[in-house]
Structure 1
Amino acid sequence: MGLDRVNSVKQRLNLTKKFPIIIVGGTNGKGSTCAMLERVYSAAGYRVACYTSPHLLAYNERVRVAEKNASDQDLCSAFAAVEAARQDTELTYFEFATLAAYWHFTQSTIDIAVLEVGLGGRLDAVNVFDPDCTIVTSIDLDHMDFLGNNRESIAYEKAGIFRKGITAICGEPNPPHTLIEHAEKIQADLKLINQDFSFQSKGQSWIYSDLLEEVTDLPFPALAGDFQLYNAACVIAAVHAMQDQLFVPIDHIIEGLKTVGLAGRFQKFNQQRTVILDVAHNPHAAAGLALNLSQNACKGRTLGVFAMLADKDVSGVVEILNSKIDVWYLAGINQKRGATAQQLQAIVQEQSSSAEVHNFVDTTAAYRQACIDATENDRIVVFGSFFTVADVMRMLPSAS
């Protein structure tokens, strides 16, 4: 893996820089941070391009301009342009997709682009573009086959998006030394949370502060979870760093935080009973889900519809959420990497031999049975992967 192939096709496409770019990396929180940046800049009247991954229901979700998904026609035009330019150069799925998204952005009228790293950072296709600001949201163990089996290795890969003289924001409260050392080596303008900027919750509002100013009476983001304040603080730090290029008044920051939305992040649907969708697929994200479940108690039981990819830390996720789930509805994922319901059952019962477990061939069957079994006061939590959430989301009338 490397960036040479992507760079060569980028040059043939003549993808020159026409607008400011913010690149967002991290283990968890990337999607939320991109969504907040998109909403804040849109609230300020700017046309924002946003490239994220993966998608839930339609590929078009990955490529957005002015808060609207790219059309099929626009995407096909972008794909055709990349296909023609690549000649005999082989590209991965994500490399092809990234070049196509950026090509589409150059054909559109936009003021700023927000680009989400797919995996890691240093060798990610997004990293062929030069940012005006970078954010690393969090650092934890995930994608270890590619990034290394410890936080130090993973942090180094994520710090690969930093640039000399460019603001590099880190929202990880315990950053490994490798990230700090890399930033110092390349002379990036590193801003660390709890050191260069911070937040403080205060009743029904919160305070953001950095070395130059303090912003009080901020609303909590419209995304569930206290941990979202880490992401929101990174967003404000980035907006402040970019003020000379794109000025955003505080009123529009507030509006953006109040109105941001993101599918599949503790997303609630009120059917005959409460249904919660959460794409949590590693222990760090599972801890956030567990906290949200604790802070949003229900009168009845919590029924967990659970399916994961086998190459993820299934045991770590189960350990964190075991005490929060009263009944497990385990399912396989129709993907080559998917764990079977039987594999999940072995892990659940290894940690809790008395756990009530039901196995199903797929997520839709598991969800249907959970709906049958749930009483009025129960809630259903669907989690474990984007595939898991997407399968159930298609079954919900308000998501179709």
Structure 2
Amino acid sequence: MLIGGGDALAALFDSRPATRIRWGLDRIEALLTELGRPERTFDALHIAGTNGKGSTACFAASMLGSGGTRTGLYTSPHLEDVRERFRIDGGWVEESALQSAAARVAGCEAAESCTYFELATALAFTCFAECGVQVAVVETGLGGRLDATNVLRPAGTAITPISLDHTEWLGGSLEAIAREKGGIFKSGAPACLGRIEPPPLAALERVARGVGAPVARLGRDAEVSEIAVRTDPSGTRFRYVSGSRPDGLRLATGLPGRHQADNAALALLLLDCSGYPPDDGAARRGIARARLAGRFEVRPPGAGRPGCVFDIAHNPAAIAALCETLAELSVARPLIAVVGMLADKDWKSTLARLALDSDTMILTRSAVPAERRWDPSRAQEWLSRERGLESIVCRNVAEAVSRGLTLAGAGTLLVTGSAYTVGEARALPELDGVRTGD
């Protein structure tokens, strides 16, 4: 994944690995104090969860912007350029503003001890403050309780579905992970919950009661029905009904998948509960306009190239949603899956699920630090021994994509497994085309 141009950005990020994780809020608190507490100059909505939090944040920001609110959006990770993380009113932050903010952050004494994500978070808040953002929608990076973004005093929070991921940091059970993610709840700020299984749901509700956060739930306080997933530009259509919208609202998003209907509905529930209810027109426009790269991002066939799908799914739950969408859209076969994962993910369950829906899997690895680099040859051996499945191993993403394009013919090439793999593939010349998520 590339760093955007500019000396200040390079000075801020180049010497720090993006994958390094360090718990605690002391460093980010010190840095933000030195910067004058920029995160207190705007209102905030804070979103955590295992899968779907980036899309939910994108929907919320898009609806706010469609209603005339100057809106910041901070998401992670980026795919190709760090500037993807920082958006104002739907577009990248202007280069001059980003460079100015980066120079301010880099000049702080406290920045020396901060991680990549802590610096990115401080940069986002500084940009939003300097650019006059009214409301920022902020996605957590990892967990919630000790995530660098948890310095916010949000008007409302949301938790998307929870599954086992980052267990070495968040705990080995869904309940433990839920407690960590519920650490973003604040007294008096509504806690809006997506479709979450009973054990982690109960854990989240206990955390919310403990801090005095009122709870609203998708499936109880708001509902989604009449979902239709299509291949036309309207993508996913659905009907949303809630206590504040009892007559229902018909909505459509260009992001394909039943899970995206839930993500959009959770975003709307969050806005309605937190004091930023969009009118029906702003809700429709915002949900229709929302785009996020690498979330079932489709490039149509062209110039002798098959259709391509990019999706950053990196755990069994996300792969299951991806496969459901592939089936609903009846993508052209054969389906050739280029998969590059990280060593700390549940790659066995993920590959076993993907194997059910792909015709051939090509296993590879992206250019990530050695400590998170998985071994595709080991994965190939496991698939053959435990599942009786044949697969192909390629040394790098470029080689895997080249092989996949040849095998796909008039079918479909799927690139998945991690944001790193998708980012590298999207940048390849042979996959050049219209980028629906930029």
Give the TM bin, normalised by the shorter chain: over 0.9
Match of 2:131 in 1: 108
Match of 2:6 in 1: none
Candidates 261, 268, 271, aligned match of 2:298: 268
- The residue correspondences of 1:204-283 to structure 2 (distance < 5 A) are 205-243=237-275, 246-271=276-301, 272-283=305-316
Match of 2:208 in 1: 183
What SS class does the counterpart of residue 215 from structure 2 fall into?
strand
Q: State the shift of 1:137 in Å.
A: 0.8
Q: State the shift of 1:197 in Å.
A: 2.2
Q: What is the TM-score normalised by the length of structure 2? A: 0.86
Q: 1:235 to 1:372 in 2, by over 3 A?
A: same
- The residue correspondences of 1:38-49 to structure 2 (distance < 5 A) are 38-49=61-72
Contact 2:157–2:192 (CA under 8 A) maintained in structure 1: yes
Q: 1:360 to 1:151 in 2, by over 3 A?
A: same
1:390 matched to 2:420? The reply is: no
Match of 1:200 in 2: 225
Match of 1:371 in 2: 405
**Count of aligned positions:** 396
What SS class does the counterpart of residue 113 from structure 1 fall into?
strand
* Separation in 2, partners of 1:122, 1:210: 29
Q: 1:260 to 1:205 in 2, by over 3 A?
A: same
Identify the range of structure 1 (39-48 vs 100-109) with the bigger mean alpha-carbon deviation: 39-48
- The residue correspondences of 1:1-400 to structure 2 (distance < 5 A) are 1-16=23-38, 17-87=40-110, 90-175=113-198, 176=200, 177-201=202-226, 205-243=237-275, 246-271=276-301, 272-335=305-368, 336=370, 337-353=372-388, 355-376=389-410, 378-395=411-428, 396-398=431-433
Contact 1:136–1:169 (CA under 8 A) maintained in structure 2: yes
Contact 1:136–1:172 (CA under 8 A) maintained in structure 2: no
Identify the range of structure 1 (170-179 vs 20-29) with the bigger mean alpha-carbon deviation: 170-179
For residues 125-147 of structure 1, give each alpha carbon's deviation from its aligned partner in whole angstroms, at most 9, with x where no partner exists: 10101100101111111011110
Q: State the shift of 1:217 in Å.
A: 4.4
Contact 1:278–1:389 (CA under 8 A) maintained in structure 2: yes
Name the amino acid aligned to 1:187: G
Q: State the shift of 1:351 in Å.
A: 4.0
For residues 260-311 of structure 1, give each alpha carbon's deviation from its aligned partner in whole angstroms, at most 9, with x where no partner exists: 2111111111133211111100111011011011112245311111111111
Q: State the shift of 1:399 in Å.
A: 5.4
Name the amino acid aligned to 1:365: E
Q: Percent same amino acid among aligned pairs?
A: 30
For residues 156-195 of structure 1, give each alpha carbon's deviation from its aligned partner in whole angstroms, at most 9, with x where no partner exists: 0000000011111010332522211110111101112222
* Separation in 2, partners of 1:119, 1:156: 13
Name the amino acid aligned to 2:211: I
Contact 2:31–2:111 (CA under 8 A) maintained in structure 1: no
Name the amino acid aligned to 2:253: P
For residues 323-375 of structure 1, give each alpha carbon's deviation from its aligned partner in whole angstroms, at most 9, with x where no partner exists: 1111111112222212132022123223432x342211001111111112222
Q: 1:88 to 1:227 in 2, by over 3 A?
A: closer
Name the amino acid aligned to 2:284: I
What SS class does the counterpart of residue 28 from structure 2 fall into?
helix
Alpha carbon RMSD of aligned pairs, Å?
1.9
* Separation in 2, partners of 1:118, 1:254: 28
Structure 1 unaligned segments of length 5 or more: list them: none
Q: 1:222 to 1:99 in 2, by over 3 A?
A: same
Identify the range of structure 1 (380-389 vs 175-184) with the bigger mean alpha-carbon deviation: 175-184
Contact 2:364–2:394 (CA under 8 A) maintained in structure 1: yes
Match of 2:18 in 1: none
Q: What is the TM-score normalised by the length of structure 1? A: 0.94
* Separation in 1, partners of 2:96, 2:134: 22
Q: State the shift of 1:221 in Å.
A: 2.0
Q: 1:254 to 1:332 in 2, by over 3 A?
A: same
Name the amino acid aligned to 1:388: T
Contact 1:23–1:134 (CA under 8 A) maintained in structure 2: yes
Name the amino acid aligned to 1:75: L
Identify the range of structure 1 (43-52 vs 214-223) with the bigger mean alpha-carbon deviation: 214-223
Contact 2:366–2:424 (CA under 8 A) maintained in structure 1: no
* Separation in 2, partners of 1:258, 1:199: 16
Structure 2 unaligned segments of length 5 or more: list them: 1-22, 229-235
